[in-house]
Amino acid sequence: MGVLDAAAAATPSNATGPYEGIRVVSLAQSVTATVASSLLATLGARVILVEPPEGSALRRLGPFPEDVPDREKSAAFLHLARGFESVTLDLSRHGGRSLLASICRGADLVIEEEPPSDARCVRETLRAAREREDATCYSIVSLSPFGLTGPWAERPSSQLVMFALSGLMANVGEATREPLQLPDSLIDSFEGVAAFTAATGALEWQARTGEPHDVDCAAFDILASSNPHAISRFSYTGLMQKRVGNLLPQGYPWTLLPCKDGHIGVIAPDRDWDVFCLWMERPDLTQDPRFATRVARSQHIPELEAVLTEWTMRYTKEELYREGQLRHLPFGAVLTIEDSLQSVQLVERGFLRAIESGDCPPLLYAEPPFVTGENRPSLEPAPALGRDTAKLLREFAGIDTPVELTHLRQEGVL
Amino acid sequence: MSAPPTKSPATPQATLPLAGVRVLELGTAWAGPFCGRLLSDLGAEVIKIESRRRLDTRGPAAPPPGSGTYPDGLAGETPWNRAALFHERNRGKLSLALELDQPDGREVMLALARSSNIVLENFSPRVLPQMRVDWSNLSRVNPALVMISMSGFGQTGPERDYVAYGPTLEQASGLASLMGYADGPPMSSGLYFPDVISGTLAAGLAVAALRGARATGKGTYIDLGEIEAVRWMLGHLTLAAQTGSRAGTARLGNRDEWRAPQGCYPASGDDAWVVLTVETDDQWQAMTATMGLPRLAAEYPTARERRTHHDEIDRAVHDWIARRTAEAVVADLIAAGIPAGQVASVDQVVANEHLTARKAFDQHPIPGSHARTVAGGFWTFDGQRLGMRFRASDLGEHNEYVLREVLGLDDARIEALAKSGAVGRMPRELEAQ
C-alpha cells in the first residue's frame, strides 16, 4: 500500500463541467445503465438515482469487503454511483410513478432500462407526463439487450449471451476449446459507454431544437457493430476468421509468453523483429532462414516460441516491460489488479486516488478516465440508499412535512 | 446516401443531432477512426485528414496479388480506395489528403481548425507537437475549439511515450490477467476492445464539450488515456483488491463471479456452442425442469451452492446439450425464460433476423460490384437508425471541396498546394515513380 500512504486522502466534491445545470434522472440498476449515468456525472450533470425500496440491483452485486454481502458496501455501486443523489420509490405503485413524474418534471434526460413490454410501464408514464406538461422536455434514453422493437425484443439475456450472439465470442479463445468471454463486466460497461455517448447526442440535439429526442440503445446492435474485422472481411471476401488463442494472426511474435514471475505480451512481427533480436543478443535469429522473415516465422512458431521462452524465463515481467518499451516495442506486462495499484503512471496522472468515505479508511479509487484542461474531475462518495429522498421530494414534489413522508412510507411508496 | 457529397455537405439541417458540427479527424488505425465514425453517424461533417505517405488502414499502395480484403478479391487500379476495413471504419467521412509536416500543409490545417468545432486525434503524444499542430497551436487560432487526444497511456506521466497496441493495453490494465480459461494462461482477446471503448467514450466526451464551448466561448482539451478507460471499467476491482474480496484475482473461463451456472457448452455439429446464464433461483428451477433434472434444483437451490458445485452441474448441462442441435437447445431455454444463445459466427450475425429487422447493419456500395454489409449505426433516435450516411471516401476525394469551399482558396493557391505536394490524391510512393 505504499502508493496509498504517499497520497493524501481527499474528500472530493462533485465535478464541474459542460453539464453543470443539467439534471439527469436515472432508473439504472444494471452496470450498463449505471456506467452511462456515472459518465454524465463526471461532466457536471446532477444525477438523481431512483432506486426501488430494496435498493438498486447493483447494490446487491459484489464485490463486497471480505465477500460478505452488504448493500451499502458493493464495490460496483461505490465505484459507479459516485456523485449521485439517491431517492427510493416503488414504481410498481401508482403513487411511486406519480412522484417519479414530479422528479422528472423539468429534467433534461431520463435513463431507463425497463423491459420493452414491462407491465409497470414507467416509460409510458414518463412519455405521457412529458406530453401533458408544458416546459417539460427531457429526452429518454432506453437501454435494453435487444432494443424496444424487433422479433427478439422480449428475449431474456445476459452479458455472456450478448457477447455470443454478437459474433464477437466466436473469435476469442483457443481453436481447440470452447469460445471465451471477456472477463468481468467489460462488455456491460462498454455498452454503458455507448449509451453515454448516445445521451450526449440527445442532449446536444435537444439543446439545438428545444425538442426531446428519445434513444433506443440496444446492446445487441452496439456489439454487433463493434467487431474489429469480422463483418466487412466476411462480406468483402467471404473469409471467416477462426479463434486462434494467443497466436494472433498479425504474424509472429504477436503473443503472450511466460516469464520469471508471470506473463509478458510480446509484439515484434515486422520491423521490430531485428530490434528484439539485438536486445536478446541473438542477431543470428535474423539470419536463420526459419526466422528471418515474417512468413518463415509464422511457419516455425513452435521452434521460435521455445527460443523466445527460454529467454523470457530469465526475466521478470516488469523488467521485460520496461526494457521493451525503452526500445519502443509495444510489450505489455500482464499486470494483476493488485499490481496495477502500484502504477506510478496511474497515480501521477491522478487516476488512482485515495478517497475518504464516511468512517471507512481511505481507499484508492479509479477516478474518471479523462483529463480536461489540467484537471481530472472527481465526485463525492456514492450515496447511502435513499439518502436524499426527503430532500428531493421537498424540492420536486412539494412534500415538506414529516407527516406526508410517514404516510408515503406507510403506503410503501418510498 | 451512397456517394459522398462534393458540395457543401455541411448544410445545417435539424435532422441529425450534430448537423452543422465540423470535425477534423487526425485518426489512425482504430480508436480515432472509430470515434470519427460515431460522430459522423450522429450527423457531424467529419473531415478525415490523411497522409499520402503513411496510408491509414487503406492497405498498401501496391498489394501483393491475392492479399488484402478487397471486394471479390480484386484490388483494382486504386486498391487504397477499396479495402474493407478502411471502408467500415471510415464511411461517412470526407477525405482531405494533406501533409501536415510541410509548412503549407500546416497552414491549411490551422485555417481549417479555425472553422471547425472538434479536432480528434490518436497519434502517440510526440507526433502533433513535432508538427506544431497540437492543442497549443490550434487553440490559438480557434479559442472555442474542442480537441480530444486518445493515446495508450495519456499525454503526461512517465509512461506517456510507451507504445501501445490493443493487446498491450489489455495486459497493462489488468484485463489480460483475468482473461482466459480457468486452467490456462492469461490471454489476449484479439478484439481491440480498448480502442473500441476509447473511441466510443471520446465521441461522447467531445459532444458534451461542445455545450461548454458554446456556453463560455472557450474550448476544451481532453486527454484520454486508453489504459484509464479500460481500468475505469475495472474500478470496482480496484476497491475489491483493497478490501479482502476474491473478485478480480482469478481467471474464471466463462463462469461468473456471482451467477451460476454460466458457461459455454458444445452442441451437436461442427463448432456449435450454446451459452447460458442462470441469474435467479427461479430460472434455475425452470431450467432443471426443462432438462428433466429437478433433482439438481432441489440439491442446489442457491447461487452460492451452484457455484460450489459448478463442475457437477456443468457435466449434467453438457450431457443434456451435447447430443442436440444448438437451435433446439436455445429454443427450449428461451421458452423457459433462461438467458441463452448460440455462439454466432459472422455469417449468422449478418443474417440475423432481429438485427435485420432493426436495420442494424449498413450496405457499403462498391463500384462495379454489389454493395457489402458493414458495421452499422449504434443507436436509433426517435425511431430512426443513425448509421452510415455515405460511403467511405477515396484518398483526397474532397481536397477541392475543403480548399475551395470551406477555406475559400483561389485557383493559384490550390495549384501551389498540389505542386508542393501538400495535397494530392495518390499515395506518395506511386507518385515518385
Tens of pLDDT, residue by residue over A15-62, are: 889 999 999 999 999 999 999 999 999 999 999 999 999 999 999 998
8 Å CB contact of B196 and A228: yes
Nearest to A61 among B14, B157, B258 (CB): B258
Residue A13 is predicted with a pLDDT of 83
Lowest-pLDDT range of A119-123, A272-276, B291-295: A119-123
A83 inside 8 A of chain B by CB: no
8 Å CB contact of A221 and B171: no
A280 inside 8 A of chain B by CB: no
Say which amino acid occupies A326: L
User: How many Å apart are CA A309 and CA A321, to the nearest integer?
Assistant: 15
8 Å CB contact of B381 and A63: no
Residue A214 has pLDDT above 60, yes or no: yes
Phi, psi of B411, deg, nearest 5: -55, -45
Q: List the 103-142 stretch of A: residues with Cβ below 8 A of B.
A: none
Residues of B within 8 A of A213 (CB-CB) are: 17, 381-382
Average pLDDT estimate for A142-153 = 96
Q: CA of A296, closest CA in chain B: separation in Å?
A: 17
Q: pLDDT digits over B177-222, tens only?
A: 999 999 999 999 988 899 999 999 999 999 999 999 999 999 999 9
Q: Which of B352, B379, B382, B384 to mutate to test the interface with A (most CBs of A within 10 A)?
A: B379
8 Å CB contact of A364 and B238: yes
8 Å CB contact of B30 and A218: no
Residue A251 is predicted with a pLDDT of 85
Residue B108 has pLDDT above 90, yes or no: yes
Phi, psi of A326, deg, nearest 5: -60, -30
8 Å CB contact of B264 and A181: yes
Residue B339 is predicted with a pLDDT of 98
Average pLDDT estimate for B74-96 = 96
Q: How many CB pairs below 8 Å do chains A and B form together?
A: 508
Q: Which of A60, A152, A184 to mutate to test the interface with B (most CBs of B within 10 A)?
A: A184
Q: Which of B200, B329, B386 to mutate to test the interface with A (most CBs of A within 10 A)?
A: B200
Percent of chain B with pLDDT over 70: 97
Residue A1 has pLDDT above 90, yes or no: no
Residues whose CB falls within 8 Å of the CB of residue B282, separated by 6 or more in sequence, listed in order: none
Residue B8 has pLDDT above 60, yes or no: no
Kindly list the distances between the CA atom of residue A232 and the CA atoms of A225, A227, B196, B340, in Å, as whole numbers in the listed order.
Answer: 10, 9, 16, 27
8 Å CB contact of A62 and B257: yes
8 Å CB contact of B69 and A203: no
User: How many Å apart are CA A182 and CA A160, to the nearest integer?
Assistant: 9
Residue B2 is predicted with a pLDDT of 47
Closest chain B CA to residue A323? B162
Q: pLDDT digits over B295-328, tens only?
A: 999 999 999 999 999 999 999 999 999 999 999 9
Residue B241 is predicted with a pLDDT of 96
Residue A279 is predicted with a pLDDT of 97
Cell numbers linked to B100: 501536415
Residue A6 is predicted with a pLDDT of 45
8 Å CB contact of B378 and A198: yes
Q: List the 193-222 stretch of A: residues with Cβ below 8 A of B.
A: 193-194, 196-205, 207-209, 213-218, 220-222
Closest chain A CA to residue B359? A221
- Cis-peptide, bond into residue A253, ω within 30° of zero: yes
Nearest to B273 among A178, A340, A373 (CB): A178
Closest chain B CA to residue A205? B17
Residue A413 has pLDDT above 90, yes or no: no
Please calculate the CA angle A261-A266-A269 and round it to the nearest 5 degrees.
160
ipTM over 0.95: yes
Q: CA of B413, closest CA in chain A: separation in Å?
A: 36
Closest chain A CA to residue B163? A330
Phi, psi of B402, deg, nearest 5: -65, -45
User: How many Å apart are CA A118 and CA A148, to the nearest integer?
Assistant: 11
Residue A117 is predicted with a pLDDT of 75
Average pLDDT estimate for A287-306 = 94
Residue B5 is predicted with a pLDDT of 61
User: How many Å apart are CA A266 and CA A256, to the nearest integer?
Assistant: 6
8 Å CB contact of A178 and B254: yes
Other CB atoms within a 10 A radius of the CB of residue B129 amount to 14
Residue A270 is predicted with a pLDDT of 86
Residues of B within 8 A of A171 (CB-CB) are: 190-191
Cell numbers linked to A402: 414529516
Kindly list the distances between the CA atom of residue B334 and the CA atoms of A386, B271, B295, B349, in Å, as whole numbers in the listed order.
Answer: 36, 21, 21, 18
Strand, coil or helix: what is B341?
Answer: strand
Residue B371 is predicted with a pLDDT of 97
User: How many Å apart are CA B215 and CA B208, to the nearest integer?
Assistant: 11
8 Å CB contact of A228 and B191: yes
Q: CA of A41, closest CA in chain B: separation in Å?
A: 12
Residue A140 has pLDDT above 80, yes or no: yes
Q: Which of B192, B211, B307 to mutate to test the interface with A (most CBs of A within 10 A)?
A: B211
Residue A322 has pLDDT above 70, yes or no: yes
Query: Considering chain B, what is the average pLDDT of its residues?
Result: 94
Write down the pTM of the prediction: 0.97
Lowest-pLDDT range of A8-12, A135-139, B52-56: A8-12
Residue B12 is predicted with a pLDDT of 43
Closest chain B CA to residue A331? B168
Q: CA of B336, closest CA in chain A: separation in Å?
A: 10
Residue B130 has pLDDT above 70, yes or no: yes
Cell numbers linked to A89: 420509490
pLDDT band per the 50, 70, 90 thresholds, residue A271: confident
Percent of chain A with pLDDT over 70: 97
User: How many Å apart are CA A328 and CA B395, to the nearest integer?
Assistant: 30
Say which amino acid occupies A104: C
Residue A4 is predicted with a pLDDT of 53
Residue A211 has pLDDT above 80, yes or no: yes
User: How many Å apart are CA A70 and CA A357, to the nearest integer?
Assistant: 16
Residues of B within 8 A of A246 (CB-CB) are: 185, 187-188
A107 exposure class (CB count in 10 Å sphere: 0-12, 13-18, 19+): buried
Percent of chain B with pLDDT over 90: 92
Residue A7 is predicted with a pLDDT of 52
Q: What is the DSSP letter of B393?
A: P
Q: What is the DSSP letter of B391?
A: P
Closest chain B CA to residue A75? B236
User: How many Å apart are CA B312 and CA A51, to the nearest integer?
Assistant: 37
DSSP E strand boundaries for A190-233:
215-218
- Whether the CB-CB separation of B362 and A221 falls below 8 Å is answered with no
Residue B427 has pLDDT above 80, yes or no: yes
